[in-house]
Structure 1
Amino acid sequence: MSTIETLLIAMTLILALPYAIWRLGRTDYWAPLVVVQILTGIALGPGVLGAVFPGYHAFVFNPEVILALDGIAAWAVMLFVWLAGLELDLREAWTERRESAITAGLALGAPLLAGAGAALVLLAHDPGWMGAAAAPWQFVAGIGMACAVTALPILILLMEKLDILRRPLGQRVLRYASLDDIAIWAVLALILLDFERLGRQAGFLVGFAAATWLVRRALPRLPEADRWFVGVIWLAACGFASDWAGLHYMVGAFLAGAVLDGRWFGRDRLDLLRHHLLLIAMPVFFLSTGLRTEWSLGGPAIFAAAALLLAACVGGKLAGVHLAGRLLGWRRGEAALIGWLLQTKALIMIVFANILLDRGVIGGQTFTALLLMAVASTMLAIPMAAPRLARLSGVPTGAHTAPATAER
């Protein structure tokens, strides 16, 4: 059988299984399609399918197919991270800078510290949780930031389901998550700082600043159709330059979107592109993530580590947002609602963890524990947020959750 035929078998599995589980199982309230795709990717990986049917797994997911899937996944997730950068509205964040800074700072700082504490516990128990190329501070900072991440694209999908994305509450939550996104990628760049490539990295930052000035001046003057072509070219160039400098192509992809104005492309079209990526290409990324899961390295210890990390990320995020609510005088119930909305970690946390794994900051068993933590945290978001939103709005819970059964 040719590589193309085997690749198409793999693509059929990747696209069909999650959809069938999601639609037939009516899982959307507690497990949106994106979460089902991640879990199906894990099931198709070596830890489940590979263990039960090793011959079939080796046939379908052979090295040539995996190489092709990795290429599709890399470009898809670059586009998705670029869209996350475009969602940033720095002008609005600046207008509400006091509230935004306090809330975003506490929503990021508290789970980061809790996650760093969990990382120290893991290191004290077994140094093998740390990657071979990492210094202890890199491991601790990486785990801490992984616990603090909020996945902005998934948060947008969740708030669309709850019908609050374009409302004042939704825009507030987007501001907090957007500022945290900037901090996340800044910390990642610090963790990945390669002193042997320091000259390249300095050159990248100088060149990126100059190129950004030119692109921002030129792009608004182009017809909208041309802006899309130039925007995608800009994304590819920034990804290459960032990876060449040693900062990883995902850092470049996020920066490529963050320095542009999403209004230049049209919000409706950006929403359509995000949905189409989730339909067509992102399932491949989730499968690639599943293929990296390592169950045999730690056994039950992986689940214990995942539980520890989940407690750190959920408890830290809720504590930080509740403190912000007290300082800013929010009405009763708002802090809990916002804290649960910000628990969406799938995708960006997985991207973040993939980068840490690629660069040897974390080991395979740590990656699997982080993956389980991200999935569990994201699955908690809608069931915990929807009834709190209903109480704040004074309407039955079903009025906010009904759209979730119709679309992602």
Structure 2
Amino acid sequence: MSTPETFLIAMTIIFSVPWLIWRLGRTDYYAPLVVVQILAGIVLGPGVLGRAFPDYYALVFNPAVVQSLNGIAWWAVMLFVMIAGIELDLKKAWAHRRESGITAGLALGTPLLFGAGAAAVLLGFDGWRGERAMTWQFVLGVGMACAVTALPILILLMEKLEVLRQPLGQRILRYASLDDVAIWGVLALILMDWERVGRQLAFLAAFAVAAWLYRRLMPRLAERDRWYVALIWLAACAFGADWSGLHFMVGAFLAGAVMDAEWFDQQRMDLLRHHVLLVVMPVFFLSTGLRTTWNVGGEAVFLVAALLLLASVVGKLAGVHLAGRILRWAPGEASVIGWLLQTKALIMIIFSNILLDKAIISSETFTALLLMAVASTMLTVPRVAPKLARLGALVRRAA
């Protein structure tokens, strides 16, 4: 078969298999479509499908097809990260800075410490640290992966639970926004290349000037032109960050973070996020699945995933409950907020992909983190929905 024919077979598999599982299995309550797509990517990867049917796998996912899929995946995830940056609501976080700072700090810092402790345990065994990682990079990277909250997926789940536009949902968005900034800041620190620090400082200086000019330009444009200019800005920022050694995803986040959500119609932005998830993100999930490996043994990967999940969940809930005590929240409030902030999926997977690209974690650690992200996200709705049903007034309570 020609490469286009093989590519189209791969695309048919990518879009049909997860959708059929999600629709026929009626998994939406505990596993939204995005989670099923991530799981399908793992199953379609070399560790499962490639091992069971090596000839078929080599035919469909040959190097030419994988290269084409990777190009789509890169652009898809850059769009998604840019949207996440645009949706940051730092103005409201500043207006409620004491409450937001305490909650976001403890919700991020506590699971980071727990995750770093789990990473320290992994350092005692071969096969988990990346080839080019220094000890502090590995420990901090895995710790932050345990602390991540996936803002875009959190928005989707809160829409599903009908709390997004309620005071509780807006509070949680403030906490997640602050954590999102911290996540990308820590990532930039981990990726700082002291041999290329001149390039990185030059990029950051040029970005600061360009962002100032960009923010002056955008309000003067008609809205339809802003969408096109935003895409040009995204590509330029991603290129600059990758050229400097910081990774194109850092540039994509910075591109979105300096934009104001008010520049765009909210309904159109919601539709863009929806369409990116529908049309191109499944390709990213598949390309992520193609990177999973089980070379140290399937049982070991699952055990490490369970360790990381325990560190993530216990750390997040402990941090949010401590914030609730300091701020004197109502009974049950910390539990709901803690479980919602536990949502990971996409942002953690993107974060882990970057760590893998830079050889800070091994493929086995990446696989364990991927399994942890899926499990933590699948726990969210089943844990939160019954609590919200019992605590209806909590949804409408402002901070």
**Worse overlay, 298-307 or 283-292:** 298-307
Partner of 1:96: 96
* Partner secondary structure for residue 272 of structure 1: helix
SS state of the match for residue 364, structure 2? helix
Is 1:59 aligned with 2:65?
A: no
The residue number in structure 1 matching 2:138 is 139
Instruction: Name the structure 2 match of 1:402.
Output: none
Matched residue, 1:197: 196
| Structure 2 letter corresponding to 1:19 | W
Q: Distance in 2 between matches of 1:219 and 1:267?
A: 16
Instruction: Name the CA distance, whole Å, in 1 between partners of 2:355 and 2:297.
Output: 18
| Alignment correspondent of 1:278 | 277
* Partner deviation per Cα, 1:354-407 (whole Å, 9 max, x = no partner): 000010100011000000000000000000011111111069xxxxxxxxxxxx
The reply on whether 1:74 has 2:74 as its aligned counterpart is: yes
Q: Secondary structure at the match of 2:88?
A: coil
Distance of 1:75 and 1:227 partners within structure 2? 19
Q: Which amino acid aligns with 2:49?
A: L
Distance 1:149 1:319 in 2: 15
**Shift, 1:227, TM fit:** 0.4
Range with bigger deviation, 296-305 or 57-66: 296-305
Q: How do 1:138-217 and structure 2 match up within 5 A? A: 138-217=137-216
Q: Does 1:377 align with 2:399?
A: no
Query: Shift of residue 298 of structure 1?
Result: 3.1
Paired position in structure 1 for 2:38: 38
SS in 1 for 2:359: coil
2:27 counterpart letter in structure 1: T
Which residue type is aligned with residue 251 of structure 2?
G
CA distance in 1, matches of 2:296, 2:75: 30
How far, CA to CA, are the matches of 2:277 and 2:159 in structure 1?
15
Please give the per-residue CA displacement for 1:290-347, whole angstroms capped at 9, x wherever unaligned.
Answer: 1111013333111110010000000000000000011001111110000000111101
Q: Name the amino acid aligned to 1:112.
A: L
1:211-256: CA deviation from partner (whole Å, max 9, x where unpaired) = 0100101101100000001111000000000000000000000010
Tell me, yes or no, if structure 1 residue 330 matches structure 2 residue 308: no
User: Residue 170 of structure 2: SS of its match in structure 1?
Assistant: helix
Q: Are 2:130 and 2:356, in contact at CA under 8 Å, matched by a contact in 1? A: yes
For residues 127 and 251 of structure 1, the distance between their equivalents in structure 2, rounded to whole angstroms, comes to 29
Kindly provide the amino acid, as one letter, of the partner of residue 211 in structure 2. T
Matched, 1:19 2:3: no
Partner of 1:301: 300
What SS class does the counterpart of residue 391 from structure 2 fall into? helix
SS in 2 for 1:31: coil
Moved over 3 A (4+): none
Q: Is 2:86–2:259's contact at 8 Å kept on the other side of the alignment?
A: yes
State how 1:91-130 maps to structure 2 within 5 Å: 91-124=91-124, 126-130=125-129
Return the alpha-carbon distance in structure 2 between the equivalents of residues 51 and 322 of structure 1: 44
The letter of the residue matching 1:367 is F
Q: Could you tell me how far apart the structure 1 residues matched to 2:363 and 2:230 are?
A: 35
Deviation at 1:178, TM superposition (A): 0.7
Matches of 1:269 and 1:232 in 2, distance apart? 15
Counterpart of 2:311? 312
Q: Distance in 1 between matches of 2:284 and 2:296?
A: 23
Given residue 253 of structure 2, which amino acid in structure 1 is its aligned partner? F
Corresponding residue of 2:397: none
Q: Which amino acid aligns with 2:41?
A: G
Aligned-partner residue type, residue 217 of structure 2 = A
1:233-312 matches, within 5 Å, as: 233-312=232-311
| 8 Å contact from structure 2 (residues 293, 364) kept in 1 | yes
Let me know the Cα RMSD of the aligned residues: 0.9
Equivalent residue number for residue 399 of structure 1: none
Counterpart-to-counterpart distance in 1, 2:79 and 2:348: 16
Distance of 1:155 and 1:394 partners within structure 2: 21
Q: How many residues align?
A: 394
Q: Check whether the contact 2:80–2:273 (CA below 8 A) recurs between aligned residues.
A: yes
Letter in 2 for 1:84: A
Per-residue deviation, 1:168: 0.9
Gaps of 5+ in 1: 396-408
- Whole-Å separation in 2 of the counterparts to 1:82 and 1:145: 20
Distance 1:209 1:90 in 2: 18
Matching residue's letter, 1:33 = L
What SS does the corresponding residue of 1:82 show, helix, strand or coil? Answer: helix
Hey, what's the Cα distance between the residues in 2 that align with 1:92 and 1:52? 51
Contact 2:127–2:296 under 8 Å retained in 1? no
Q: Given residue 88 of structure 1, which amino acid in structure 2 is its aligned partner?
A: L
Whether the 8 Å contact between 2:83 and 2:273 is mirrored in structure 1 is yes
- Corresponding residue of 2:220: 221
Where does the alignment leave 5 or more consecutive residues of structure 2 unmatched?
A: 395-399
User: What are the superposed Cα offsets for residues 66-119 of structure 1, whole Å, 9 maximum, x if unpaired?
Assistant: 000000000000000000000011111110001110000000000000000000
Q: Distance in 2 between matches of 1:234 and 1:14?
A: 30
1:127 deviation in Å?
3.9
- Tell me, in whole angstroms, the C-alpha distance in 1 between the residues paired with 2:262 and 2:159: 19
